[in-house]
Amino acid sequence: MTFDVTESRQGTSMPPSPSPSPGGTTTLATVDIVVLVVYFLLILAVGLWSMWRTKRSTVDGYFLAGKNMTWWPVGASLFASNIGSGHFIGLAGSGAAAGIGAIAYEWNGILMVLLLGWLFLPIYISSGVTTMPEYLQRRFGGRRTQIFIAVLSLFIYIFTKISVDMYAGALFIQLALQWNIYLAVVMLLSITALYTIAGGLAAVIYTDAAQTAIMLAGALTLMAFSFVEVGGWDALMDGYLNAIPSVRVPNSTCGIPRDDSFHIFRDPVNSDLPWPGVIIGMSVPSMWYWCSDQVIVQRSLAAKTLSHAKGGSLMAAYLKILPFFAIMLPGMISRILYTDDVACADPELCKQICGNPVGCSDTAYARLVMELLPSGLRGLMMAVMIAALMSSLTSIFNSASTIFTMDLWKTFRSRASEWELMIVGRVFVLVLVVVSVLWIPVVQASQGGQLFIYIQSISTYLQPPVSIIFLTGCFWKRTNEKGAFWGLAVGLLVGCIRMMLDFIYPAPLCYEVDDRPGVLKYVHYLYFSMLLSFITLVVVVVVSLATEEPKPEQISRLTWFTRFDPVEPKEQVFSVERSTKSLEVITNSISSVSSVQSQSRLMSALYWLCGMERRKEGDDKSVTPPAPAQAICSLEEKPRLRLIVNVNLLVCLSVTAFIVGYWG
């Protein structure tokens, strides 16, 4: 399915739109193209600089940025990894379609990212793991839970992250340049893949920091233009509830704004986001994303100390307040300014306007950019959208390749050299891209044109069982491998059944009769999240208590209550032996490479770009062994820094409580 925004509207009963159509004459000027070129040069410079200063030829260097990041790039990368183009398109679209309710997902994320820094991250650091499936393998023993989670994580990345962000970014570019959506996808991916594959996590984090600044500058600028155009805050409050399209299906609620549009906590039975589900059902999948998802946790594990990791969580939490003002409210303003297009309520008309018969609310943000901003600023917002897309995709690509390489490939290739792991991690990115592109048509047609709601509904069917496994594994020492595995298996089976039913019986449009099965019609997906979490928890507890207790090595330094346990001497010996074997493999690999006496400059540049630097004979003598396990897994914090982050924690929680209470 492709969009054709230039399709003629002749033959319809739609009156003239208050502004030119998205496919009209509003396109990028020369100055906009110049701004885009400057943006790409800036990002390329940051990427090359980070590649130059980072050791990318080792597992830690490529996948964890050498564990040497300070708080501000970690925080900026956490924010940029989360706020992708799907947020700009989807969150603004949800605001245009149904009011501010969906912002609850963002503000719930504030609490969860703080939980990561103060509760979950100390456990992950003390365990000394690189990936989240690896943590489960150490905590429960065996391989089946590790492989299960690794495969599931890749599945979730494709369904709820990669394809959604690619679609959203391509949608924006298509509205601006009138390109075919798949052509736009290919162009974006070719740009994104360059420094993701070459630079590793360090390049991703530093470019995320630069793109966070660009995203905030552009989004806040558009917010200011939007409020000026609509006439201020009071005009937004009054105008939104009266933004009803002139062409609607008779005797239906199509196109009429919700009465509770400016409230987060809505009716527990008949609303689109019932308040019990917002409080509990939303928190469980959110906990998976912020506290046990590889994309997020990998950035925090790259911090040099626990205090810097907490500082990164705090920075991300403060920044998470901004999407409400910078993305959602402009989306609501877009409905006021371009009511007949953004809020179209007739399927045939929507098909002509944006190519999607279920609604055009996802065009709200792009419409503002192309209609309101002058030349130059329009190019800046194009850079913002591309920055959002690239920051999110590069983060996911890097984390997905980490999981595949360290948890799946190494399982079946236990003697794989670091050279092989680096190549496998890079090649897997290309495989992910192809599969994700094939899923885009499904994303286009889902959830009544509300992209953000599509993301969240799919998440509630797959993520709660994983959240429960990590929660019990981290905070209940009695949880064992059998309980975790069967809890995960039963929970995911139930969740997948509900997800398949959702695809088989899509939600009816506003003028259609709801004849779906009762489990879909009467059980909201947030309530289903609560039910799924309870089922998983019961299975984990019952099976764990009915089977043997975990071994001591599956508990020490792997739970909240044992995170300060001393490192066992045998662990240190094992670590030294493993490090020695790893160094032998690296040395053999280096020796085989250095045996090639003649080496062209082109090949040298190619190897440097990929982080596979060739070394001269004898250089291996200077390779220093890794630091002792106890130093790597240290939870020590300087008293002054600990006081600063704890005070900021209280301030952040107070601000969050106020804004949630005010808009509740």
Question: Which tens digits make up the pLDDT trace of 383-402?
Answer: 777 777 777 777 777 788 88
Residues 178, 380: contact at Cβ < 8 Å?
no
Mean pLDDT value of segment 360-366: 85
HSE value, Cβ hemisphere, 13 Å, CA-based, for 494: 22
**Lowest-pLDDT range, 146-160, 354-368, 526-540, 591-605?**
591-605
Distance CA 494, CA 490 (A): 6
- DSSP structure class, residue 480: -
Q: What six digits make up the tokens of 366?
A: 């792009």
- The residues with which 303 forms a beta bridge, in sequence order, are 69
Query: Reduced to 3 states, what is the DSSP secondary structure of residue 426?
Result: helix
617 pLDDT band (50/70/90 cuts)?
A: very low
Distance CA 191, CA 376 (A): 22
* pTM of the entire predicted model: 0.79
214 pLDDT band (50/70/90 cuts)?
A: confident
Q: What six digits make up the tokens of 24?
A: 């009209």
What's the mean pLDDT when you consider all of the chain? 78
Residues 350, 357: contact at Cβ < 8 Å?
yes
622 pLDDT band (50/70/90 cuts)?
A: very low
590 pLDDT band (50/70/90 cuts)?
A: very low
Residues 6+ apart with CB under 8 A from 608: none
Cβ-count burial 18-37 (b if 16+ within 10 Å, e if not): ebebbbeebebeeebeebbe
Query: Reduced to 3 states, what is the DSSP secondary structure of residue 296?
Result: helix
pLDDT at 499: 86
- DSSP structure class, residue 268: T
* Domain 36-404+633-663: CATH class, spelled out: mainly alpha
592 pLDDT band (50/70/90 cuts)?
A: very low
pLDDT at 46: 77
Residue 520 pLDDT > 80: yes
| 191: exposed, middle or buried (Cβ count in 10 Å: 0-12, 13-18, 19+) | middle
210 pLDDT band (50/70/90 cuts)?
A: confident
Q: Which of 550, 446, 441, 579 has the alpha carbon at shortest distance from 507?
A: 446
CB count, 10 Å around CB of 251? Answer: 7
